[in-house]
Chains A and B, each alone.
Chain A
Amino acid sequence: MSVVQISGLRKYFDAVHAVDGVDLDIDQGEFLVILGPSGCGKTTLMRMIAGLEKPTAGSIHIDGADVTELPPRKRGVSMVFQSYALYPHMSVYNNIAFPLKAQRREKKFDKATMRSKVESIAKLLEIDELLDRRPRQLSGGQRQRVAIARAMVTQPAVLLLDEPLSNLDAKLRANARDELKDFQRSSDITAVFVTHDQIEAMGLGDRIVVMEKGKIQQIGSPQRIYDDPANEFVATFLGSPSMNILRAEGYRFGFRPEHFLPKTLSDNPENSVSFHYFVKRVEYLGSDRLVYGYVGGHENELTLAKVPSNVRVSLDIEGEYEFAVHYDDIKYFDEASGERIEARVAGAAW
């Protein structure tokens, strides 16, 4: 069952179409990631779900009720900001209790209930020892937990997270990602997570919504989005280094650097396309070798290959090699629109 239903949602800031016609259903208990480059409208979309931004057009339903015109406090949503936005002058306890106090009149619960709610969520997030501290006395990871506790204490229908991991250092981030996912799964909360980091998106999302220019480009599981991109934008936005794109007569085609390997390694060469590959430069990255070069007939289009280090083929600068890509790993795009097309539609002749 879907908790949030968004239809025809638009937000225009004068001439800028930040969100330009979004339809999206978010299911109960799912971890939905909205992924896109900065300026793609993902944060505006989230702020409209929260009620912080009024849509230009379209509607938002939460738990079946139309909340398009309602203020945030009547929506049953809560939010964790990138900066965590902890109230610096309040103790951790008062930070977590703040939404309860603010909604006490409507929800009708007493002080003791409030205390037990705060304490149980604090225990769940392992910050029950910190309740008397001030935010400035906490580490980045602890602050993030406090922000999540404050967002969860009212048991919202949807938890919105705006790049909450980007303020943590790289080491902490992997750990925090893991904990966040565990916490979301065990509490069965519906989470919407906005990020520009594809690794975060791939790791956390049950489904990923890829956005660009205010529009949804594709919705799907991480694997679906990666292996079966709907268009050239999605294909090149995901993956590092990004997909090689080459021009052909009437269409473009692409393949990922990790799928572009010496032909001698191919397990079924008859199902592969071979290319003459001219190597210009090789970077040794530890686990892989990143090869820069070009393929025959496409001298002006830089083509990368990512060859695992355990592949002992020698690759020399200025050398010429036979490389191959499996048919299934080649994607075809319409020349004009960039949309995915079938190989036979493209008329690719290998």
Chain B
Amino acid sequence: MGPLRLGNFPLDNRRLIGALFLTPALLYIVLLVGFPFALSIAFGFSDVTVGNTDLSFVGFRNFLAVWENDIFRQVFETTIRFTLISQVFILIFANILAVIFTQEFTGKWFARFIFILPWATPVSLAMIGWLWMLDTKYSPIDYLLLQMGLLGRGGLLSDNRNLYWLAAPDLAQISVIFVQVWRMTPLATVILMAGLSSIPTDILDQAEVDGSRFMRTLLQIKLPLILPIMVIALLFSMITMFGDMTVVYVLTRGGPVDYTRVLGLYSFQVGIEGGNLAQGAAISLFAFPLLLAMAIFMLRTASRAEVR
């Protein structure tokens, strides 16, 4: 009798099973990422519109036209500003919450569950909720402020009965950033929690025996050790937010005027609503080199900060 022979059953074949497991991921990438991406590049260099779907090559004409457009420049600047400001808050909140949720306390399970909801809720649904919360006339927030005497005649915040959360230029921007932070913080927190709980308990015990207290352990041990994971969390939420259009589409449609118009929304408005597919594609493609550079930079930072 020779050694036990394996490989007669089809699933014992390593190549076959490898291909089998890879196929769904490959299909997903090719069909839902690769194909649209290639199509948008093709569109960007053509003169395709909703009315005329013939693709004829026009070189960089669309990109030049977009770049010389003042609205586009403002949109681009707004997108970057919103993204950067919200990331700062997301990082701060996510770190605080991750530290809280990795401590032991009663009701932790329930608190975690409640807290993950903003991220688990479908965006459009959540945004309709916020649309009501921030309603120009019937906002519950305004109502509470009114009851507290902060709004209305002689009120500390305004003499008006409303703050116009989505209609006043400054407040609309703040509202959009706030809602983005609300929506993205849970994911970043979950990633940071995974990082925190991956720190070996020996290291934390050692710090305690060495005489380190809470803040020193947090700032000098925990945070440096989860830095690579923090960078990944940041990258995730930055990319998601940079390309997002749902939040502003539901809340403000880019208004008032252009104050909350971001790249994703503008691309949609020009390309789909305006019917100029070629220019819409060109607009969205401007995000690509920026995001690519950012991703490369951050992943390199993460791998350099990683301690083996």
Contacts and interface: CB of A to CB of B under 8 A. Distances in A.
Q: Do A and B come from one complex?
A: yes
Interface of A: 47, 50-52, 71-73, 77-79, 81-83, 85, 87-89, 98-99, 101-103, 134, 136, 150, 154
Nearest to B224: A89
Contacts of B203: 85, 87
Contacts, number: 64
B230 to A, nearest CB: 13
Nearest to A150: B210
B267 to A, nearest CB: 41
A51 B210 CA distance: 11
A160 to B, nearest CB: 8
Contacts of B202: 81-83, 85
B108 interface: no
Contact of B212 (A50, A89, A98, A154): A98
Interface residues of B, number: 19
B225 A79 contact: no
B211 A81 contact: no
A176 B219 CA distance: 34
Nearest to B305: A89
B212 A136 contact: no
Contacts of B211: 72-73, 99, 102-103, 154
B15 interface: no
Nearest to A52: B205
B269 to A, nearest CB: 47
B33 to A, nearest CB: 35
A234 B213 CA distance: 41
B3 interface: no
Interface in B207-221: 207-213, 216, 220-221
5 contacts: A50-B205, A88-B307, A89-B225, A102-B207, A102-B212
B202 to A, nearest CB: 4
Nearest to B205: A52
A98 B209 CA distance: 11
Given A52-B205, A134-B307, A83 B210 contact: no
Contact of A52 (B200, B208, B216, B221): B208
A187 to B, nearest CB: 19
B55 to A, nearest CB: 53
Closest 3 CB pairs of A and B: A73-B211, A85-B206, A88-B307
B200 A85 contact: yes
A71 B208 contact: yes
Contact of B205 (A73, A85, A88, A102): A85
Given A99-B210, A101-B216, A136-B307, 8 more contacts: A47-B205, A71-B208, A73-B209, A79-B206, A85-B206, A87-B206, A88-B225, A102-B210
Contacts of B216: 101-102
